[in-house]
């Protein structure tokens, strides 16, 4: 699930964006992964309630008496990993957002068309943030939750903090993508997520949960250099 939070002082406008977000998100993701969209009219209420759990904020640059730019600065201070999309009626604001690194802009007079391209940009952002691996039939695995990947017979086992996932595949099919997302190959049939490694001891990797993974002889020197 991905959580979108919209802040717009015009309720009907916020609900319109919400409907478009849900429709476009469903085109990119499997049915098991839904968009949860919450709409606020009050910027302060949004900051009090939604700052930690939101993946994507969609902010009206002119939100009543509040400035969407100031709201975005506060979001950046409290939640550096969230994505921000601005919604505006005035293109001149584009030049005032340096340092806020928004994902995109949605023009109020062109929402239906803009939201299509914006969702592509949002998906690129989410794939990087959540390390989304697309597997067969458009299904996904969130690699940010995966500790290790290993081969057992003809299956690829993704071991995560919330359990295991098994698919019919070879490691070679996804090896390059896994490397791009920070996975280290420790043997011919096993890779581990660098984010979950606590330390290396000789030819073992100690994970943050205490699990020990043995490094094969052929991989020891390469992995040792990573931890120098």
Give residue-wise pLDDT tens across range 90-140.
Answer: 665 554 555 568 899 898 889 999 999 999 999 989 888 878 888 876 678
pLDDT-above-70 percentage for the chain: 94
- Token pair belonging to 167: 């698919």
Domain edge (last residue) among 97, 130, 163 = 130
**81 and 166 in one domain?**
no
Helix (H/G/I), strand (E/B), else coil: 199:
strand
How many domains are there within the chain? 2
**148 and 126 in one domain?**
no
Strand partners, 51: none
Q: Give the residue-averaged pLDDT of 44-70.
A: 91
- Token pair belonging to 93: 């604001």
pLDDT band at 89 (very low <50, low <70, confident <90, very high): confident
pLDDT at residue number 138 = 66
User: What CATH number corresponds to the domain at position 162?
Assistant: 2.40.50.1020
Reference 28, options 160, 106, 125; nearest CA is: 125
Domain span at residue 73?
Answer: 2-130
Number of neighbours of residue 143 by Cβ within 10 angstroms: 24
Evaluate if residue 70 carries a pLDDT over 80: yes
Helices 11-28 and 111-130: crossing angle in degrees, nearest 10, is 60
**202 and 174 in one domain?**
yes
pLDDT band at 62 (very low <50, low <70, confident <90, very high): confident
**124 and 16 in one domain?**
yes
Evaluate if residue 193 carries a pLDDT over 60: yes
**98 and 204 in one domain?**
no
Q: Give the residue-averaged pLDDT of 160-167.
A: 91
Reference 210, options 196, 227, 194; nearest CA is: 196
Evaluate if residue 227 carries a pLDDT over 90: no
Cα atoms found within 13 Å of the Cα of residue 24, Cβ hemisphere only = 21
Q: Where are the beta strands (DSSP E) in 80-226?
A: 83-88, 104-107, 132-134, 140-142, 146-152, 155-160, 163-168, 183-187, 190-193, 197-201, 204-207, 212-214
* pTM score: 0.69
> How deeply is 81 buried, as exposed, middle or buried, from its count of CB atoms within 10 A (0-12, 13-18, 19+)?
exposed
**99 and 125 in one domain?**
yes
How close are the terminal C-alpha atoms of the chain, in Å?
Answer: 37
Q: Give the integer Cα–Cα distance in Å for 147 and 158.
A: 8
Q: What is the mean pLDDT of the chain?
A: 89
Q: Give the integer Cα–Cα distance in Å for 18 and 37.
A: 6
């Amino acid at each position: 699930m991905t959580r979108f939070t919209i802040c717009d002082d015009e309720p009907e406008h916020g609900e319109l964006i919400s409907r478009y977000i849900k429709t476009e998100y469903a085109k990119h993701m499997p049915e098991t992964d839904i968009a949860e969209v919450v709409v606020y009219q009050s910027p302060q209420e949004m900051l009090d309630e939604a700052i930690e759990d939101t993946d994507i904020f969609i902010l009206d640059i002119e939100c009543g008496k509040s400035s969407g730019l100031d709201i975005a600065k506060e979001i950046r201070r409290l939640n550096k990993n969230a994505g921000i999309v601005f919604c505006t009626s005035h293109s001149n604001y584009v030049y005032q957002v340096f340092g806020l690194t928004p994902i995109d802009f949605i023009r109020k007079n062109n929402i239906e068309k803009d939201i299509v391209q914006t969702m592509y940009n949002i998906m690129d952002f989410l794939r990087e943030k959540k390390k989304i691996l697309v597997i067969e039939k458009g299904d996904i695995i969130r690699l940010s939750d995966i500790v290790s990947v290993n081969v057992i017979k003809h299956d690829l086992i993704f071991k995560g903090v919330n359990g295991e996932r098994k698919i019919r595949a070879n490691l070679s099919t996804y090896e390059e993508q896994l490397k791009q997302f920070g996975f280290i190959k420790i043997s011919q049939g096993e890779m581990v997520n660098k984010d979950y490694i606590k330390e290396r001891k000789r030819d073992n990797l100690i994970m943050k949960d205490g699990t020990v993974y043995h490094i094969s002889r052929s991989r020891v020197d390469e992995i040792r250099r990573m931890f120098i």
